[in-house]
Structure formats: C-alpha cells, structure tokens
A = this chain, B = another copy of it.
Amino acid sequence: MDSQKCRGVCVPGFKAAGLKDGKYGVMLIVADRLCAAAGVFTGNSVKAGPVLVSGKLVPGVLRAVVANSGNANCCVDSQVKDARSMASYAAKVLGVESSSVGVCSTGIIGKPIDLKKLFSLVDRVAPSLSSSSAASLAAAKAIMTTDTVPKQAHAEYGGIQVGGIVKGAGMIAPNMATMLAFITTNADFPPIILQRCLKESVEKSFNMIAVDGDMSTNDTVLLLSNRTKKGTTIDLQKALDEVTTSLAKQIARDGEGATKFIEVNVTGAKNKDAAKKAAHAIIRSPLVKTALYGENPNWGRILASAGAATKINYIQTTVAFEGGGKKAFVFRRGRSLPLESAHQILKNHDIIVHFDIGAGKEEAKAWTCDLSPQYVKINAEYS
C-alpha cells in the first residue's frame, strides 16, 4: 500500500495529529478510552529522560502518546523532569490523566529541550486531532529527523487491526539514529500478552535492521490497544509482524544516503542463532555495503563477514544475487561462478542477497541499504 494513503495509527478509536515548526516537531496520538499498552525500549545503558519515564508505564495502561523531534532530551540534568513536564502538559491539553501519557523524543543529545516551544506546539497541534489517514501521516511527518519520507503501515487479520508509524533512518551499525515506532490496535488482550507479542515482532523486524545493542539512547516502540475486538493471538501476531516488518523495511530503504535497498536472506543455518548472526554480520559490513553501492558482486566479502560472526565452512556455502525479477548464483558450494549476470542484477535498486550456509534448515532475513559517500557527508555535518 502507498504509505502516504495508509490509515497508519488511526485504527478506529484512535486520533492523531502532527505539526513541525523549524527544527521542532510534535506528534500526538490519543485513544477514546484507556488502552492496554506495551513497550520495547533501547538497550543502551545511556537512556534519555523520556525512555526512563515511559519505561515505567508499560506494560500497563495508556491513553495517549506525545512525541517530539528536534531534541532528544538526553544527557542533560533536567531530562527526567522535562519528560514528565512534557507528558503532564500534553495530558492537560488532552484532558486525560498525566500518568496515562507515554512520552518520546528524538533529536540532538546534550542540550536541554525547549519546553516553551514544545508546549506551544502541543497547543497548536491538539485542535487538529483527527481519525483520518491524513492525521496519521501528519503525525509520521512531525517526528522525522534525517528521514526523507514518512513511514506508515497497516494490517488486518480476523478483524484485528494493527496500524503504525515510525521514524528512523541511518542504516550503518552501530546505528545511533533514533527509532521511534507507535503502533495501535483494537485487539482485546491484556498488557502482558501485548508485551509478549510486541517483543516477538520486534525481534523479527526492527532488530533485523540493526544488531541488538547497536541502539540509540532514545529508541522506543509503543503499542496501544483499545481492546474493542476479540480475536486470537495468532491473528494479532500476524498483523503485528506485518506492520513492524513493513516499517523496518521502510527504515532500511530510507537509509541515510542510500542508493539501494538490500534484503539479506540467510538459509541453511544449523540453528536460529547462527542464521541471525550471519544476517546481522552481512548487513552491518561496510565492505559488503560499499561493494553493493559499487554494484560489485563481491561474494568474498559476504563469506568473510559471515565467517567472522559464526561458523562457516565455505565449501558448503552458496551465494546468489536477486533483483529485477532475475537471480544469479555467483558461488555454489565452494565454487566461484561467472559474474556477468550478477553485475547486471546489481544495477537494480532493490536487491536480495541470498546466502546459504549449507549446514542446516534455519533461516533469517535482515534489511539494510548500501553505503554511499553521501552517508558520510550527512553524518559529518549533522549535529
């Protein structure tokens, strides 16, 4: 679905709004009743104020979320106090309990957040709260930083709706570009079940565009359910997986300076851990990513990066590239093959790297983008 026309977080019973003014942006999501809520937060030991505040609220109940771009509210004395003020102010404007508002921030670290500016943005954005898809899009846009496009997704299984928006870009590990994801649903489950399903989804999606631990100080995924639809956890999981995977891929596609979108498909691993380790190693290898930028089917770098992370017997491995509806094997069970077709395939924007370890039946998928000179320029100047 075209992300711009997607209903995003505006599943029935939820309203959203967003407004950007200069460097600062503010987004609101509010439910028409108290929601069961779950959350997954950064594993970084340096945590921003809003992570510390929101982290205490979930799993639990939430009515609304307020988030801002422009300042991370991190590594400053006032970070927890300011995050609480932000939640309280939004609660007052929305007419809800202060303790039912999740709070998130993204932007520069180490400078106090401009609460006056923020409060005025909350005042200005609140009247535009709406359940339209345009409102979800405005919310997605308000939290963008180095993102070049807003990112939304929606899925429905057995009447269970899941909608989400995300901000995040910058696909070279350690990826310190903050990721904020807000997900809404009607699935009638208590917080503890939502938490379990959310965690499982995050594992297969957001954690497969970066490596666990390569996390920013502010990374947050929040899930709110207004519990208006009975259903199975199987359908909830399906819908959640579809939404989080779509959002994760949209982040990888929007990598800073990216010229190509890359899916890494590891198969034939002895166990799940080996499959994930190999996939992570390949997506984080600057040498693989620069080779793909150069449209160079360098299977040696793929083997070498995977081999540094997990046990690989090169004689058993197979590497292929896929793109534009074609697939070319460049290395099959220890033998290198002609590269002409692969060179052609790598001219496509969307590329799949197939890496078969040849040692078992487990699989893992991960997503990234190529590494271009433009990435360096963006990150040398951003501050």
Contacts and interface: CB of A to CB of B under 8 A. Distances in A.
Interface of A: 43-46, 72, 74-77, 108-111, 170, 172-174, 176, 213-217, 281, 284-287, 290-291, 293-294, 296, 298-301, 303-314, 331, 334-336, 371-377, 379-381, 383
A380 B294 contact: yes
A336 B111 contact: yes
B286 A172 contact: yes
A14 to B, nearest CB: 32
B335 A290 contact: no
Contacts of A336: 75-76, 110-111
A-B residue pairs, 4 tightest by C-beta: A294-B380, A109-B300, A46-B307, A373-B373
27 contacts: A44-B307, A45-B307, A45-B310, A45-B311, A46-B307, A46-B314, A72-B300, A75-B314, A75-B336, A76-B336, A77-B334, A109-B304, A172-B286, A174-B281, A174-B285, A176-B304, A213-B309, A286-B286, A286-B379, A290-B375, A290-B379, A290-B380, A291-B379, A291-B380, A296-B380, A298-B383, A376-B376
Given A287-B174, A287-B176, A376-B373, A44 B383 contact: no
Contacts of A281: 174
Given A45-B307, A110-B331, A287-B379, 17 more contacts: A44-B304, A45-B311, A46-B303, A72-B300, A75-B334, A109-B301, A109-B303, A172-B286, A213-B309, A286-B379, A290-B380, A291-B383, A294-B381, A371-B376, A373-B376, A375-B376, A376-B376
A108 to B, nearest CB: 7
B380 A300 contact: no
Contacts of A290: 375-376, 379-380
Given A287-B176, A300-B108, A307 B217 contact: yes
Contacts of A371: 376
Nearest to A76: B336
Contacts of A334: 75, 77
A326 to B, nearest CB: 21
Nearest to A373: B373
Nearest to A330: B110
